[in-house]
Amino acid sequence: MASSFSSIHFLLVLLFISFSFSNAQTPTSTTSKNAGIMFALERDPLTLQYMIKINQGTPLAEVKLVVDLGGRLPWLSCHKGYNSSSLRPVSCKSPECSRAEGPVSRCVLCSGTAKTHNDSCRIYIRKPVTRSVAKGELISDLVSVAANPDSWGTPVSSPRRCAFGCATTGSILQDLLPPSTIPKRAGIIFDLERDPSTLQYMIKIKQGTPQSEVKLVVDLGGNLPWLSCHKGHNSSSYHPVSCSSPQCVLANKPTSTLELCNGTANNACSVYIINPVTLSHRKGELISDLVTVASNPDSQDTPVSSPRRCAFGCATTGSILNGLAKTSKGVAGLGRSSALSLVPQLAVAFRFSRIFALDLHDINTDVKSGETGGKIYFGGGPYIHYLFGFDDLKDRDLTYTPLLINPKSKEEYFIDVKSIKVHGITVPINKKLLSINKKTGIGGTKIDTRIPYTSMETSIYKAFTKAYIEWAESFNNANAELNDFLNITRVTPVAPFTTCFNSSTVPLVRMFQNNDPPGVAFIFPKSVWNISLFDMVRVNDGVDCVGFVDGGSKPKTSIVIGARQIGFLEFDISRSRLGFQQPNLREF
């Protein structure tokens, strides 16, 4: 927005205590009731902070101030000057200055005052996001307001003078600037590795001082990244998190700070760490350390600066690693609701949106890097990949469906699957199993990389595999008269699968290019996710199996989409949506 304040950015840290739109000198009995006033609010899509829009100064200009309900003083950043002819410095000897700084003597307030104005009121300005403190001065200026149009009271007279803190350091605004005032940041990428024994995916993170690579098992439902520290945590940049810190409160909600610090050693923040495989709990503490990252090389946006500090749980018991990949040192919690999940931590640290994407096409070699393995993106795309069959590189075209919230599992990622098709035929399913019970959290469909193959409630699985068998029979019948046609032949199943075929008789994908995409399709209310290239699994030479497993008769979640069927997915938490890629059959 163009204005004389274009080079100045602002922060609101309190409701305006300086507003006085009633006539204090007139007796109450003779004063008519004044109408209230209104301001418009705007939500910043990057930080999700709310900003109040205020018309201020001379000439009048609209400024946006971040709302902080716990702040004691409204303040502005004046490090590039303050262009308003109605600005007035507040004297260090004034009552306003005393109220701003509390029980401080006037001689102290007036000693070493700010350089901008003589005898100005020196104050300390505190930012709520980073809790940093900067010196400034107290000023006042005119504010124009609009009366509540629905009020029967007397409209207020405007403008009136209000007091503001005036910060002279530009860095006070870090993490508070709206997107239009800061350069867009490139996303970041980590390599993924799949453990051949457990089939768990691990994120490779460069951490600490000296820098070392640690592998953490990816957990989409985890509320916190954590490490096993039972043999110590050797890093000179490691810091314990205090029990009275905001991070400790976030990690232990809804426990109060008083309870958190009761009986703790050295004011350390105690946390409970959960192993997502064994579901065992262990007590540990919250620490922070430096994390070094790499910017997305395909992005044209500003590269991120690194390293940055992130919080981790620190488990002091070695048994907490039971069930996890042997080379892992802990778990990377990527839950959608926790403020200490790795997703929001990286979004705040590197100033990008709460988006991450999984590329689990680990059966293919990355032509650009020459490496075999998956990747995880934070902060959005582009997601450049090799386009097989066209000898070219291309960004991924994504289709979206809303993410659902399970009230009993708020960290996990649920989607609204309405039905399933196998080769175009709808599978008969009890619809109640596809919906989430709001009281118990049972039912529905979620995504989980810790599950190697999609699992289904028993009745769904039986109907699903039956549909595959019936499709094979109908396909054989339809092509019986063709020369050199081989019937699709079932073979002895290989655990954990129950429906397998002779791979030499399974028709090639290119045979279906003029029909509906073959294989499995998840049907959403407004879109369809085809996983045509990931429904079958080559278990050994000559045997292809339907890559889905029986999840039991009473699972907590009816359908759990596992790593094999994921392929590529984007989890856009800020917009509460899931992005998926349709198979390009021409590539194959």
Residue type, 45: P
* Whether residue 159 has a cis bond before it, omega within 30° of 0: yes
The backbone torsions φ and ψ at residue 249, rounded to the nearest 5 degrees and listed phi first, read -65, -45
Residue 3 three-state SS: coil
Of 352, 525, 363, 512, nearest in space to 434 by CA = 525
Establish whether 448 is a catalytic residue.
yes
Cα angle, residue 363 at apex, residues 189 and 467 outer, rounded to 5°: 115
User: Residue 91 and residue 99: Cα distance in Å, rounded?
Assistant: 12
User: Residue 193 and residue 210: Cα distance in Å, rounded?
Assistant: 23
User: Residue 373 and residue 193: Cα distance in Å, rounded?
Assistant: 6
CB 396 within 8 A of CB 410: no
Residue with tokens 């418009």: 40
Residue type, 181: T
User: Residue 375 and residue 55: Cα distance in Å, rounded?
Assistant: 47
User: Residue 210 and residue 97: Cα distance in Å, rounded?
Assistant: 48
Of 333, 288, 314, nearest in space to 232 by CA = 314
Q: Which of 141, 219, 289, 535 is catalytic?
A: 219
Residue with tokens 């509540």: 148
Cβ-Cβ contacts under 8 Å for 200 (sequence gap 6 or more): 194, 217, 218, 324, 325, 328, 449, 450
Q: Which of 68, 359, 448, 535 is catalytic?
A: 448
Q: Is 1 exposed, middle or buried (0-12, 13-18, 19+ CB in 10 A)?
A: exposed
Residue 487: DSSP 8-state:
P
Q: Report which secondary-structure segment, H or E, holds 471.
A: helix 458-478
Residue 302 three-state SS: strand
Residue 525 CA to its chain's centroid (Å): 24
Residue 49 three-state SS: coil
DSSP structure string for 280-294: -EEEEEEEEEEEE-E
User: Residue 226 and residue 342: Cα distance in Å, rounded?
Assistant: 10
Cα angle, residue 437 at apex, residues 435 and 440 outer, rounded to 5°: 145
What tokens does 565 get?
């069927």
Establish whether 44 is a catalytic residue.
no
CB 450 within 8 A of CB 200: yes
Q: Dihedral of CA 449/452/456/458: which sign?
A: negative
Of 331, 411, 342, 402, nearest in space to 378 by CA = 342
What tokens does 167 get?
């910060």
What tokens does 85 get?
């002819």
User: What is the distance in angstroms between the CA of the first residue and the CA of the last residue of the chain?
Assistant: 50
Instruction: Give me the active site residues, please.
Output: 219, 448
